[in-house]
Each structure stands twice: as structure tokens, then as C-alpha cells.
A and B are shown apart, each in its own frame.
Chain A
């Protein structure tokens, strides 16, 4: 299971099955700017990484987060 899908589902409190790589703030009402930070902080804690502000403003979809996360590993 993708850590990003799992984290986004937990933070937005929605079923993981409802998420796809295209899920984004544009098509998920609960995904606002505060949720973005909660998603990021949960990933930072679970993956022992940290995101810059520049990276966080690019958290525009599941696939975008996966792409940013891939640069951390």
C-alpha cells in the first residue's frame, strides 16, 4: 500500500479506496491548505524526512506528493 495514499486517507478521514493518483485539492473538498501540512507532517514523521515550504506548495495531488517523496529517498 502506498504510504502517500494511506497518509492522505488518514488525514482527510476518507476511505483509501476513494483515492487515486489524480486525487487533489481540486476534487477533494477536505483537502485544504491546512490538510496539506498535516499530510506533510505525518509523512515527515513516518518517513523521517522533512519538506521545505517550496515542496509543500507543490503538494497539488497524490501523484505530485509521490514525485516529491521519491526525491527524498
Chain B
């Protein structure tokens, strides 16, 4: 195997593949990435056995071949070379050599046969969606995913395809976010899969704000996302996601409409003096006015008053300020609508006249 490639052409796919290669691997081969050269293309593959990232790059007049190189060192070297540098990579025996101008590096390789293959997806359901929509779904929901929860099915994002709607749902049990987009796909049976947290983050890094179509293939154990020159495969979480529909409050009698940024700013300021551990913030609602209040164990206090569009009874309710702020940051309309009922019931937030993304937050007893 021997080919020459510019630093800039190599660096982006290399870093993308490197993203899934874990730093501390128990299996040495997993610290390596697989290079596969044909006369016209270079394929890079990285995996941690849960996910696999494959990128394809154009080559010219390459000498075909395969090899695995230590991922981190390979990437560090390429990054450290000067801009616009041309890199020649050749493999002989169990050594790989990188040459660029007056630099030369010899790296150890590991046998290609040891490099694990992620299982092929059998009989997948395939559909396409523009990558910016997919990225939007992730950006609007992924922050609510659980981290290392014993309810392992919460440590990921639910992707649901049904009735010409692709929906993403994430929840850590305290709050839930849901976002959906229309699609021309309408599978006979509703498709529901849970994509692991790690994979969601990688996918988000891979996607751009572009109209280019993303191909999604869903099998029984795996999901595969393909763009022109990148393929990302992940195992699915085998579990039952909670019935998210049940979580949306149905009987909220108090509706508040207010400017999203003003509310967010007020909460941001107030929360500075909330208990750092619990982030509890108290909301006091009365006709036309929302008070936000917080205090910490040092007895410091913050209070703000915000004019809101609300007519109705008074309510005092506590929340984790972070959850409110996360939701308000994910909404992108100028005005938000907040639905409340009583101090023990969840609150629903969405953009005014925009229910494509909705956020449910459970209150906190302060």
C-alpha cells in the first residue's frame, strides 16, 4: 500500500474516525484505525465495537493495500505537520512510514485480520432525511438524555418513524424533550429504536447544516447512517423506552406566554444564587407577572420580576433551573408558551405556535 494525500484532505476524515476510537482500550487493535486503499480511494475505519465510523476519501494513482495504524499517533502527526503539506504513506511488512517534506515517521501496525467487523445489518428499513433535519432533531432533544442511568434505556435517544413523522425523544426521568419533522416515509409498522448516547453525540458531530440527504438504515440490532463519504453504524439499546406520550401533561390550566430570551436571561441571573448542587429555583406566577426566586445555603438571595402574558390563578412551583434553561435554549421561536397546573405536576414548554419541539419538566419540591 502506498499513496500520497494532502494534510487537509486526510485530516477531517481521520479526526472523525478517531472520534469513535476510545482512548483507553483493553484490546490493542481497537486503538488502531483501519486504512484500506484502492487506486482511487482511501477508506478509514474506526470502531469501539459499539459503533463504527467509516470515511471515504479520493485518491489518485494509489498502490492498493490494507493496514491498521495507531489512531492517536497517526492523527497527532498529521495535525502537527504544516498546512498544505503532502503526506506519503506506505506500508511494508509490519511498519508504516509517513513522509512529508523533510519529516519521516515509522509507525507500528497490527494485523488487519484482527480488526473487528461490525455485524452487517440484515433486512434494514431504509429511509432518507436531509441531514440538517436530523441534526435539528438531535440538537433539540439530546441534552435531555440520561447519563449512566440504571434505567439503561434512558441513556440514549428514541428515534421513532410513523405516520410520515420522524420523531426524536430523550429523557433522563426528570425532563423530557421531543422533536419531530415530517417525512414522506410511512412504514407499515411504527419503527422505534433507541440510539445510544455516545452514538447520538458522534452522529451530531458528523452532520452538517446542509440539505444533503442522510440515508438511515434500521435493523433489529443496529442503525446505520450514511452520507456521501461517511458511514456510521451503531448498536441499538435493547430495551423499552417509556411511553413518552403519557408524560405530556393534558390538564394544564395555566398558560403563560412570554418572550423567550427575557425569560431565559431572568432565569440565568436568578439561578446564580441557587443551591449549586440542586439548582432549585422558585417561580411565582400571578396575573401578568412571573417572579423568579432563588437562594443558596449561604442565605444569598436573587429575585426577578418578569411581565408575562398570563391571566389566571396564582401558582408557586419549584424547578431545577438547568432544566428550564436547557429547554428555553433549545426552542428557537421568539415567544414561548409555558403550561402549568399545580406545584406537583409537570410543566410543558414549547415555542409559541410551534409544537414541533416540546419539553416536559418535572417540578422540584423546594
Are these two chains actual partners, yes or no?
no
